[in-house]
Each structure stands twice: as structure tokens, then as C-alpha cells.
Amino acid sequence: MQWTRLIGQGTWMLENDPEQRAVEALRLGVELGMTLIDTAEMYGHGRAEEIVGRAIAGRREGLFIVSKVLPSNASYDGTRRACERSLRRLGIDCLDLYLLHWPGSHPIAETVRGLESLVRDGMTERIGVSNFDVEELRAARRASRNVPLACNQVLYHLGDRGIERRLIPYCRENGVTVMGYSPFGHRDFPKPSSQGGRVLADVAARHGKTPRQVVLNFLTRDGVFAIPKSGDPTHVRENAGGEGWRLPDEDIAAVDRAFPAPDRDVPLGVI
């Protein structure tokens, strides 16, 4: 399912950036085509959603807004109340996608029923999950009755490509969009002096791009979404340039060799 461009904007810890600059960064990202904004009730205890709300006030059209319910709130009624609070903070009537943030202690069937009721009541267009490995996703899909699970948001960066082995193929076969989070490894972007950093710099130089643009292009090469977070307009501009061009096969192979996917199945990585 192609909702928007594949590169969107994350908002975890955006509340720690100067607020006006964060608002301007989000708006610039939207202008540059990063119209998908990912947030969650957890981020800054709702502060990130409020900042997104400021950034999108009066400009809802054409945006794709994603938020998430905390597992501890994800009973049937709790999911509904959490969604209402998120909508209020965001200043919108309806989300484009609402996710369970990670598997929790409430039975998944109950959470899925709660999520489905939100679609029925026009509070979100789509529902999904986050941090679900194949078996958990299979169980969640079995629990869904009326509304398919549209998305699984999971960790995906050059240092953790485990989802390429089983999860991406499973999602692809079952029509579940994969949204990769922490595309720069959160705070662990390869150092320029490292071997991998030098490979990224070489590839980037060949195409007049930056190493981060190469990374975003690589991660989205097969239709997986990437949602880099930045509260800095200069960085936002750079991130938007990760899409709209294509790494040739030999450069994809070079990045692949420098940052190999695991050669056996590994548990889903989480941050």
C-alpha cells in the first residue's frame, strides 16, 4: 500500500528540541514531501503530539498522521480513551493510522477489538501494530475480524537488518506495510572514520548525496518506510533528499557488504 512517499518524519524526543524550531522543522519536512508524521502518546507524555498539533494546525489536508497507544492503556476502553486524548492533543478528528506501540499484557484480541472500533467510529482510517515479530503478528492478524492490520512499525537500520529474513517477507505476503523506525540507529550513525562510514561516504560522493541520504535510500529500496526524526531544519532538508532517486545495484551491494544482514534468524530488535 503506497500512502505517501516512503520517507516520513519521526517525533520521539522532539519535545527536547526548541519548540518553535521543531514546529518549523516539521512544516519544512511536509513542504519537502515528508507528509507522514509518526508520533505516540508516550513521546514526552503527549508533548510530541502537541508539537505536531501546532505544526499541522490549519494544514491537515494531504498529511498522514500516525500515533500509538501504550500497551498499558490498550484494554478495549483504554485504547479508545487513549485515542481520544491523542486526537485532542493533535487537534484533529481522525488519525490516518493508529498502532499498538508494542505487545503488552492486555490480550491482543481485546486490543484489536478496541482498535477496530476506532475505525468504525471514524477516529482512525487504519490500524496496526509496532514491535511485533512474525509469531506475534500472526496472532494479532488472527484476532482481527473486520479491519485488516495495515502496518507493523519495527526497528530497521544498517546495524539491525534482522527483519529482512522473515518479517519483511511475511508482511509482504500478507499485505502488511513495514515502517522502519530509527533509520539512523537513533544515536548510532556509523562514524565517518569507520570502515562502514567510509563505504557510505564513497557511495554518497559518487551520487552527489550525503551518507545519511544513502542510508535512507538503501532502507527504502524495497518499499519499506523510514521515519527519521529531526528537529533541525538543515537535517530535515537533507533527509528529504534520501528519496526521489535510486542507488544502482552495485552500490546497494556495496552497502550490503559493509552492513550485512544477519545470516540466521534473530529475534526482532527493539529500542
The smaller minimum CB distance to ligand NAP, of residues 189 and 264, is found at 189
Question: Pairing relation of β-strands 97-100 and 225-226?
Answer: unpaired
124 binds ligand NAP per the rule CB under 6 A: no
Near ligand NAP by CB under 6 A: residue from 166, 186, 198, 207: 186
Are the CB atoms for 104 and 68 separated by under 8 Å?
Answer: no
Task: List all residues 6 or more positions away from 197 whose beta carbon is below 8 Å from its beta carbon.
Answer: 190, 191, 211
Encoded amino acid at 208, one letter: G
185 binds ligand NAP per the rule CB under 6 A: yes
221 binds ligand NAP per the rule CB under 6 A: no
Distance CA 199, CA 214 (A): 10
DSSP three-state, residue 221: coil
Please state the separation of Cα 132 from the chain's center in Å. Answer: 13
**Measured on CA atoms in the order 154, 243, 28, 125, is the torsion positive or negative?**
negative
197 binds ligand NAP per the rule CB under 6 A: no
Give the burial string for 214-241 (b: 16+ CB within 10 Å, else e).
Answer: bbbbbbbeeebbbbbbbbbbebbebbbb
**Smallest gap, in angstroms, from Cβ of residue 58 to ligand NAP?**
23
Task: List all residues 6 or more positions away from 144 whose beta carbon is below 8 Å from its beta carbon.
Answer: 112, 116
Near ligand NAP by CB under 6 A: residue from 35, 86, 182, 217: 182
**Smallest gap, in angstroms, from Cβ of residue 182 to ligand NAP?**
4
Binding mask 51-90 for ligand NAP (x = CB under 6 A): ----------------------------------------
- From 89-97, 199-207, 232-240, 244-252, give the range in contact with ligand NAP by CB under 6 A: 232-240
Binding mask 135-154 for ligand NAP (x = CB under 6 A): ------------------x-
Binding mask 7-26 for ligand NAP (x = CB under 6 A): ---xxx--------------
DSSP three-state, residue 7: strand
Distance CA 253, CA 140 (A): 35
Distance CA 61, CA 63 (A): 6
- Active-site residue numbers? 43
231 binds ligand NAP per the rule CB under 6 A: yes
- From 141-149, 183-191, 198-206, 256-264, give the range in contact with ligand NAP by CB under 6 A: 183-191
**Smallest gap, in angstroms, from Cβ of residue 152 to ligand NAP?**
10
Contacting residues toward ligand NAP, per CB under 6 A: 10-12, 38, 101, 130-131, 153, 181-187, 212, 227-232, 235, 238-239, 271
